[in-house]
Chains A and B, each alone.
Chain A
Amino acid sequence: MFIDFFFVLRRKGVPVSITEWMSFIEAMYNGHFQSSLNHLYYIGRAFLVKSEAYYDAYDLAFQEFFGGIATQDVELEKVLDWLENPLNRLPKMSPEEMMEFQKQLEEFKRTHDMEELMRQFRERLKEQKERHDGGHKWVGTGGYSPFGAYGYHPGGIRVGGESWMQSAAKVAEERRFRNYRNDIILDVRQTKMALKKLRELKREGSQEELDIDETIDKTAKEGGEIELVFNRSRENSVRIILLMDTGGSMLPYTELCEKLFSAATQTDHFKEFRYYFFHNCIYQDIYEDIANYKRVPTEKLFSLFNKNYKLILVGDARMAYSELFDINGCIDYFSTNDKPGLEWLARLKDHFPHSVWLNPTHRNFWGHYTVDTIGKVFPMFELTIDGLKDAIKALTSKTKNPLLYNS
């Protein structure tokens, strides 16, 4: 059945809903567009895909489902060429004849389904070896076969014809929208947009909204002297702390982290935004600068910021076993630590219930002991747009995690 295309789309990751599919099918069967692969491609895309980020996935799905046509034994190019230059164009039809065709079209829709037609089309392309104009079986122009251009077959498949920019199968194959996939690129702007989702609206700031009830009350009390009362409008009250790993293993991801960092600092929509740095793991001190010179006691995070702050840690979470589990396991030669790193991480998690860990490395490379362990303390997400979105969902959800560290 044609519905398989729906499942191919879902499998390729296009979030198509039933509603969208139904209106697409409805549009198709109402005959609102010509039956050609090109129409199907573009109109299907308009109905089923609602973000350019999924255009690439759509192309892939389309290719999988309809792609056989482009790579048949008879080259599509040649077929298109025959179709574009018909030898005999059909004479104009009278309204009665058109009516007759309408009737046939209805009949055809009842008796054929899309899949059957596609199958026949592929088969016939396979059998066909030469050009056809007129006639009623082969793919060609001006004829009555269900396949071809400039011809009349009710409900048939039209191949090419008219000046579409390119054939749909070819467009799909080109995958021009690959760059729009959102699991691949992460730029400052996109990151900003993702971060904008981090918000909690509260009434703060200047008073702008007219409070009608209060105004009437006040006015009545003043004996009819009009007294306008305004309310504060709602504003974002999210406060963020960003902790970034500057360790050596993070070097390949510098650019990625820079992007996240500049997006976060440029987003003026947080109530407050603080950032600190650490080296591989967190101990009693964190740093105010990337070069790790200006020390700040980690304890200060607990005293300065309450639990309403949202904590984002960025790092690859990959380190030597001792750095996470041992006293004096710190990688810096001149530093010592009397509590293991894991303990500090657990304390952070307890103090800031809303916290996430963003990992710039690919999920496939997370199979490392310290990564697993840290992943159990903080919910861990990939540093991609999708990962960031999930992380933000986790940050704004109301559920509380059990305490890890009791002191």
Chain B
Amino acid sequence: MAGGSQGYHGSEDYIASKPLMEIVNVAVVLRKPLVVKGEPGTGKTLLAHSIARALNKKLLIWNIKSTTKARDGLYVYDTVQRLNDARFKDKDISDIRQYIKMGRLGQAFQSDEQVVLLIDEIDKADIEFPNDLLNELDEMTFHVNELDEEVTAKHRPIVIITSNSEKELPDAFLRRCIFYYIEFPDSEMMESIVKVHYPDIEDKLVREAMKKFYWIREMEGIKKKPSTSELLDWIKALSLGGIKIEKITSEIPFLGTLLKNEQDTDRFVRLSSNQGSGFGFRRR
């Protein structure tokens, strides 16, 4: 049963919400790929690391880029190498096998023990990409044309797929997966996340910093909202810089760690300076 002592309960350095843990356990038990979506910095990628660590399994990461093809994850047949070898006749080229290189998915299938496979940022690739993987993820098997052989998973890997919602994922693909949207952590959750990363930092500093942080996040018109990783950087900078707590309440030191583009900084300065009368101004 999921939720028993065997299941996933988060790991030391990763705080997962209760529902998320439950969903991870269900995905593991039912052997379905888990699609995790959410704002940048909500810890989608780290989740896979945490699962691998908590369940004591090897983690294979397949980073997706805009040029990645589904085939790359299965295997690559290095034709050019073979042609080159054929030319100088110093190698035996009759064995195609040595020119077949397994991709991440292939490696996961061939592994002697169950692994955690992270397909990171699947939405970076072409829109058709997930559809090309449907069968492979469903049946956990693929065919190597050059060898005329089936590669079947020895142990069905635990598949975690992350997406930044740059592109919509195809329905047919999603139907086969379990889906979880990680919300941006609320302040309570965030406090425990900060604690995990910096256990020694003063409570008061963290609280003040978080107050400011959520205030900036809720400002209207900020294009790139600061995320968890930015908050962590900021708190680190604050504590290393020995900034007094009173200073955080009156101004924002190291603003550059939170807001990363010029427009947002301008907007922030404008909004925070005329908070009085101009705040309710509405463009007509």
Contacts and interface: CB of A to CB of B under 8 A. Distances in A.
A179 B168 CA distance: 17
B19 A23 contact: no
A176 B87 contact: no
Contacts of A226: 83-84, 87
Nearest to A39: B22
Interface string A7-49: 0000000010101100100110001111000110011011101
A164 B19 contact: yes
A32 B169 CA distance: 27
B174 interface: yes
Interface in B30-88: 30, 32, 35, 37, 79-80, 83-84, 87
Contacts of A343: none
A231 interface: no
A377 to B, nearest CB: 30
B168 A212 contact: no
Q: Which of B2, B29, B37, B166 has the most CB of A within 10 A?
A: B2
A215 B80 CA distance: 10
Contacts of A23: 30, 32
A197 B127 CA distance: 8
A283 interface: no
A51 interface: yes
B18 interface: yes
B79 A210 contact: yes
A165 interface: yes
A215 B83 contact: yes
A49 B80 contact: no
A193 interface: yes
B242 to A, nearest CB: 36
A228 interface: yes
B175 A219 contact: no
Contact of B1 (A26, A31, A163, A210): A31
A39 B22 CA distance: 8
Contact of B167 (A15, A163, A193): A193
A219 B84 CA distance: 11
Interface residues of A, number: 39
Interface stretch (B96-104, B178-186, B191-199): B178-186
Label chain B's interface by main secondary structure.
mixed
A228 B79 CA distance: 10
Given A50-B174, A226-B83, A43 B179 contact: no
B22 A52 contact: no
Given A17-B175, A19-B175, A34-B3, A55 B26 contact: no
Contacts of A33: 2-3, 22, 26
A178 interface: no
B174 A46 contact: no
A212 B171 CA distance: 34
A46 B178 contact: yes
B23 interface: yes
A176 B3 CA distance: 26
Contact of B181 (A32, A34, A55, A219): A55
B196 to A, nearest CB: 17
B1 to A, nearest CB: 7
A196 interface: yes
A27 B23 contact: no
Contact of B37 (A42, A52, A228): A52
A193 B180 contact: no
Interface in B141-194: 165-169, 171, 174-181, 183
A407 B37 CA distance: 53
B195 to A, nearest CB: 17
A215 B83 CA distance: 10
A366 B17 CA distance: 46
Nearest to A199: B127
B22 to A, nearest CB: 6
A70 B207 CA distance: 33
B84 A32 contact: no
Nearest to A254: B283
Contacts of A55: 181
Contacts of B26: 27, 32-33, 43, 46
Nearest to B32: A23
Interface in A322-356: none
Nearest to A47: B178
Contacts of B84: 226
B19 A165 contact: yes
A95 interface: no
A27 B165 CA distance: 27
A165 B32 CA distance: 25
A402 interface: no
Interface in A357-388: none
Contacts of B79: 210, 212, 215
A56 to B, nearest CB: 11
B66 to A, nearest CB: 10
Given A33-B22, A46-B26, A52-B181, A196 B167 contact: yes
Contacts of B177: 50
A9 to B, nearest CB: 14
Q: Which of A42, A45, A46 has the most CB of B within 10 A?
A: A46
A219 B86 CA distance: 12
A224 interface: yes
B3 A210 contact: no
Given A43-B26, A50-B35, A164-B19, 5 more contacts: A42-B22, A51-B37, A52-B165, A193-B166, A210-B80
16 contacts: A17-B171, A39-B22, A43-B22, A43-B23, A45-B179, A46-B178, A46-B179, A46-B180, A50-B175, A50-B179, A51-B168, A51-B174, A164-B19, A215-B79, A224-B87, A226-B84
Per CB-CB distance, the 8 closest pairs between chain A and chain B, nearest first, are: A50-B174, A42-B19, A52-B181, A50-B179, A46-B23, A46-B178, A19-B175, A32-B29
